[in-house]
Chain A
């Protein structure tokens, strides 16, 4: 099966600019996750979608971050305006279900550098 697709792979922007990331999950996976991983740390969940509905966005900085999954398939994550501390790898993952027993498949990630 095809994996989780993400683009772009790398992005460098200046602070206060905006940026958007795209993710296409594995076909048939109802649950999609966006994670932020800062160097040397574990992944931090930003937002979880079940089909096209949000089920967890408790750690999403909503004043600057937004995400959507309008048709329940691919998703975009946006940052506006970016801050220096947003420099990280943004990982998209998908799973068959959001339930307890399923591991995730991650995309290759987008490495964001804010200067």
Chain B
């Protein structure tokens, strides 16, 4: 099992719909979870972080975390064509580096296409 898994997509939704992006992780001790958006040819941009079970809302974005089931999801309400991008899930695991910091493990990303 990969440490962080995402469906590669593409996920295609009509404009105005809710886009649901999912991410599962293998390390039960993970504490911090991040969603990054990456437009084609651009760098990843942090859009959401979540640390405790439940929902966290920011504008049209809602991150949902369920540590018991080891998944984190991102909902995008009222999807717009400008939301078309690759969404990367990143998880801080219990793996430690030499500096005693937790390692951030990345998923491969889910491609989202919002159709006008």
A61 to chain B, nearest CB (A): 17
Number of interface residues of B (CB under 8 A): 23
Chain A positions within 8 Å of B45 at CB level: 106
**Cβ-defined contact, B43 with A48, below 8 A:** no
A31, A43, A50: which has the most chain B beta carbons within 10 Å? A43
**Cβ-defined contact, A50 with B34, below 8 A:** no
Q: Tell me whether A8 is interfacial, beta carbon within 8 Å.
A: no
**Cβ-defined contact, B109 with A42, below 8 A:** yes
B53 to chain A, nearest CB (A): 16
Q: Tell me whether B97 is interfacial, beta carbon within 8 Å.
A: yes
C-alpha gap A83/B40 in the complex (Å)? 24
Query: Provided the pairs A48-B99, A55-B97 are in contact, do residues A100 and B88 lie with their beta carbons within 8 angstroms?
Result: no
Query: Provided the pairs A58-B97, A101-B51 are in contact, do residues A108 and B31 lie with their beta carbons within 8 angstroms?
Result: no
B95 to chain A, nearest CB (A): 10
Chain A positions within 8 Å of B102 at CB level: 99-100
